[in-house]
Structures are given as structure tokens and as C-alpha cells.
Amino acid sequence: MTKDHHGDTAPPYDIKLSVKALESLLVEKGLVDPEAVDALIELFQNDIGPSNGKRVVARAWVDGGFKRWLLDDPNAAIASMRYVGSQGEQLRVLENTADVHNLVVCTLCSCYPWPLLGLPPVWYKSPPYRAQAVADPRGVMRQFGTEIGEEKEVRVWDSTSEMRYLVLPQRPPDTEGWREEELQNLVTRNSMIGVEDAQRPAKTGTS
């Protein structure tokens, strides 16, 4: 698997410094509320961004033909839902099964399918996650409350600027007959990275 990370999704370091300096200046002058900035980032990280990926997963759960298309030609399948854009052109979808659990990491930077998952979370970009995901993937998932038995194979996929990955989590039990819109509530950003399973119905209040 190639390790060429030219075209990294993270902006150059000098741009990061400039953005941080501008933010600090605006906060200092009372023009920006730092809590509002944090809330906006949280919104794009956890709600607005991942909503696209949630819709893709839910459709795959209810539509077998779409699921096969998604696994065979993910870029075309996702484009049919109009979820395209920078940092999402080359994508592979990894299906979790009863025998295999997939986990995504980017060991050298933070390559990430932005059009489907929004902004990458801070922990995804952190050196500890990037190192431990490769050395001890079960330990990483355990930190997120996910226990993967030794009988199940864990596969770790290293994203690059040429290839990004989306995990298709297993559909939770006891969801027969659920509509696509209801199933979306069970899909989380973390389950599409692979550090967690999709939520069980009891955790959502969806019926």
C-alpha cells in the first residue's frame, strides 16, 4: 500500500499559524466568542459532515442492490447521491461482517473522506491514535468502548492522498422493517471510521 501523502488534507503549518493568530485576535477584540467557534467546529465534526455518510450507510442497509454497487464501485454509487468533492474522489468501502472488523487510520498525516464525514476529529490526527491503531487496534477500540473478540479478524487500513476509506458497519439487530431515515440515527462518525460499532436501537429512542 502506497505511503505517498502528497496532497495531505491538513493545511500547511504556516497557514495553521495564521488562522490561529487571526482567531486569537478576533477573540481578544471581542468579535468572536471562543465557545461559539468550538460549537461550530463540533457541529461540522459530528453532525453536518457525517450526515452524508450516515445516509450512504443507511441506504446500503436497506437496499441490497445499492450495497453491491457501493462495494464494487463506491465512487459512482456515492456520486449518485451527489456526495462528491475534494478529499473524496478515490474511496474504498470496507464492509464489517461477523468475521471481519475494519479500522481506518492515516499513519503519516490525516487523510480523510471529508465529503462523507466532515472535519476529521482531533483524535484521528493525533500521533497516539495513529501509532496505536496499527500496533494495537483492539486496544484502540476498547478505549471507545468497543470490544472485538479474538475470533474476529481486525483489518487496519492506512489512508493516503490517493485512497481513502469508509467503513460500512454491520446493521444492528432488531431493526427489521426500519425506514432508511430511522436507520441513519444508528450510524455514527466513529462507526464509519471503525473505532465503534453502529449503535443499538435501545441507545437512540428511535422506534
Active site residues: 106, 109-111
Q: Is 155 helix (H, G, I), strand (E, B) or coil?
A: strand
Q: How many helices (H) and strands (E) does the chain have?
A: 11, 4
Give me the amino acid identity at 190.
Answer: N
Q: How big is the CA angle at 92 (ends 70 and 44), to the nearest 5 degrees?
A: 90
In whole angstroms, give the CA distance from residue 142 to residue 15.
Answer: 35
CB 51 within 8 A of CB 180: no
